[in-house]
Structure 1
């Protein structure tokens, strides 16, 4: 579904996926390409959701902005998948339109907690798992993003279950880690000028400057963000609520101006922020940049 900045639906098209988990744009031979991460797990009955019929199977799909499939990345030829599952949650492209080489970085966040580097044709070049540096192995690398704010672009990895972000160069060499004191659930990235915005699944956005120093939170819901997930003080059934029979239902405590479960994030050329939240029925929020 393609919307205007005002939220009006322009057009829509169907794509051969099981679940659209994250989107990214790139330029392919002068044409914009829409990348879709599909973990392929919605045929599993979990968290009370009804399963989608069919076989399980993750993929990354590239389509034109009219919905024409152009490329598909299936399970990489990597030893970890001899007994493991490929369930990609995110991808980012070192875009040729921004001086890159077209490499596609794919985060297998819901599968084997590994990030793969593919060439533009989808062939595996290499993989990283967090053990390349001092920080340690990834645990749900949920989001990946190429940062072009500096002269030398870098790869950011949202190491969600470890509550931190790991940074690499575009050859897969570890550089640094940050955020462990201020992040609880980093999931996705966006940028506004010199500032990077991190979607935190636990009810807030976190802003960092060019040096990865924390600046502020946006839309924080402290009744969620400051409470340990699944602790006795957590909202039962979060990100949803539970009915009298213990079944998940859409949250009854959503608040305007406060987040519940930001799962994806994007910005536009005017610096406005768009966030999609993970809960029954979903919720999309636009934050208009003040002048």
Structure 2
């Protein structure tokens, strides 16, 4: 307890407690109190509820529900602050057939099915009506706007190197529902996205 092997993300609840996804090796979520003292951890390798295969992102909503991006299991799991499993959802949106991977061959068949909707990064908006933005893994490389119940509200971009395209959105910040920052590992950049929901389009600037 209190030791990590390649942690991936961190978030806080409304009382200042700290939650860390200890992802690549330990496959768990660790909890500390606001003073930095160890409280507990939960999770283990696996595919069942409350188990993880590379928990890579974590955020907390206004009600202190914790959303964990269980990347290789291709799902988001939701817990309370004591680690009780509440629900989970997947993002099952097929990519544009014209999309091509930035690095290496473009996945097809079972390899493609295994990466669609993989939650590489997650952010949550402030305010009373919160939504999630979920960054997909390197390919298909999109960003999804998602309701807290898991309903997909919108899809942004696709794999590529142009503005408004993505490869490895490894971290997201969303200070409002219409403003998103995406840090990409494969494209070595941060993009600022200004969203225009009324026209279902977006513009991007570096």
TM-score grouping bracket, smaller chain normalisation: 0.7 to 0.9
Partner SS, residue 195 of structure 2: coil
Describe the superposition over 1:211-238 as per-residue Cα deviations: whole angstroms up to 9, x where unpaired: 22122211123xxxxxxxxxxxxxxxxx
Q: Which has the higher contact order (CA 8 A, sep 6+)?
A: 2
The match for 1:234 is none
Equivalent residue for 2:133, pick from 182, 189, 197: 197
Describe the superposition over 1:9-64 as per-residue Cα deviations: whole angstroms up to 9, x where unpaired: xxxxxxxxxxxxxxxxxxxxxxxxxxxxxxxxxxxxxxxxxxxxxxxxxxxxxxxx
Equivalent residue for 1:274, pick from 145, 161, 181: 181
The match for 1:90 is 9
The match for 2:42 is 128
**TM-score between both structures, scaled by the size of structure 2:** 0.73
Q: Please tell me whether Structure 1 or Structure 2 has the larger radius of gyration of its CA atoms.
A: 1
The match for 2:156 is 218
Partner SS, residue 102 of structure 1: coil
Equivalent residue for 1:102, pick from 1, 5, 16: 16
Instruction: Please state how far the C-alpha of 1:171 moved relative to its aligned partner.
Output: 1.8
Partner SS, residue 72 of structure 2: helix
Instruction: Please state how far the C-alpha of 1:180 moved relative to its aligned partner.
Output: 5.4
Partners of 1:255 and 1:218 lie apart in 2 by 13
Partners of 1:216 and 1:141 lie apart in 2 by 23
Give unpaired runs (5+ residues) of structure 2.
94-115, 199-206
The match for 1:59 is none
Partners of 1:256 and 1:180 lie apart in 2 by 23
Partner SS, residue 268 of structure 1: strand
Gap change, CA 1:93 and 1:154, over 3 Å in 2 = same
Gap change, CA 1:157 and 1:125, over 3 Å in 2 = same
Partner SS, residue 145 of structure 1: strand
Partners of 2:176 and 2:189 lie apart in 1 by 22
The match for 2:61 is 147
Partner SS, residue 188 of structure 1: strand
